Structures are given as C-alpha cells and as structure tokens.
Amino acid sequence: MILAAAGLGVGLGVVTGMPLGVVNVAIVDAAAAGRRRFALGVGLGGAAADTVHAAIAFAGLGRIVTARPELVRVLAAAAATLIVGYAIAAWRARPARRPPIDGSRLVRGVAAGALLTLPNPGALTAWIAVAAALAPGAQIAEAAAIAAGVGAGSAAWFALLAHLAGRVPPEHRALRIIPRAALIALVGIAVYGVARVL
C-alpha cells in the first residue's frame, strides 16, 4: 500500500510539474542564462514546496488554510510580491556572458524555488483538489508516502527541464527571447494569482 502510494506520488509529481508555472519559467530563464546550478536548485526548492503542499493536502489539513479567505489573500499577496521581486532581480542580474558554476548558486536556487512556490495558495488549492479526487481518506503513512513521491517526481521533472534548457547553445537566438518572455510570464502569473483571490 505504501509503495503504491509512493508510486502514485511520483507520477503526480511529474505530471503536475509539467504545466506552465512559476518554477518552470524560473528554471528555463536561469538555465538559458547559463546558470544551470541555480536552475537545478530552483527545481529542487520547487519540488520541496510541492512535497509540503502535497503532504498538507493528502493529510486533510489543507482546508484549514483555504477556509480562511483573509489568510489566502495574504498568502497570494506574499507569493505575488516574491515572484515579482524574483523577476526584477533576475532581469537586473542578466549576465553578459555565462557565469562560473559554484555550489552557492545551488543553495540560493533551492531557496528561490521554495519561496516562489510555498506561499502560493493556488498551488495548495490545486493539491487539495487532487487529494480529494484521488485519496480523500488517506492515512498519515499513505499521505507521507504520496508526498515523498510527489517530491521525487517533481525533482526529476525539474532537473530534466533544467538540463534540457541549459543545453541550448549560448549563441542561439532563442536566448535573446527566452529571458524576456520568461520574466514577463512570471509577472503575468503573479498578477493572475492575486486577481484570482481578490
């Protein structure tokens, strides 16, 4: 039963990580700019946040958060502020050439990925809907196994995305378009998230 729950979680982590979202956009932007370790870190941080959201949702605790509209609005505003702040910082840090790789970029990426995802009430609400549809009466051990699987699946998808985006040759003309499109998409996602809860 626990192995089946973990397998379900891995599948959910991969599938739910694929649609356009903040972490995907941030990964593509960072990897296209040559910041592969940072992009990988963003993915790992996003996967950790997905794990937390899935654990809360499958354990049946998510409705405690979403039942309070004022808390949802505060979380949405915090998430939007963090996303816009990240977009501005990424825009200003646009390097003229690919920077050297070091371990601190990975740690900063993990922090950025977690902060871009964790306060987002939309992500938590989505996990609550998934949990209600697939495992409404999950026991704590099952919920933990599903959440761990979600983290593994999300991390695998985000790592693959970072790898693929990082393989674009530095002289490719898409690299002139991707960063601007990615950062505009980030701001659009932030505005949409706030507008949806107001």
Where in the chain are the domains?
2-197
- Rounded alpha-carbon distances, angstroms, from residue 93 to 15, 33, 57, 99, 157: 31, 10, 36, 11, 26
Q: Is 74 helix (H, G, I), strand (E, B) or coil?
A: helix
Q: Token match 């995802």: residue?
A: 117
Question: Which DSSP string do the residues of 96-140 spell out, in sequence order?
Answer: SSPPPP-HHHHHHHHHHHHHHHTT-HHHHHHHHHHHHHH-TT--H
Query: Could you give the C-alpha distances from 30 to 6, 35, 105, 178, in angstroms and in order?
Result: 30, 5, 11, 10
Write out the chain's pLDDT in tens, 198 residues. Answer: 889 999 999 999 999 888 778 898 889 888 888 889 999 999 999 999 999 999 999 999 887 877 888 888 888 888 888 888 887 887 776 654 445 555 678 999 999 999 999 988 888 888 998 998 888 888 999 999 999 999 999 999 999 999 998 888 877 777 667 667 777 777 777 777 667 666
* Residue 35: closest CA among 79, 81, 101: 101
C-alpha 96/C-alpha 94 separation (Å) is 7
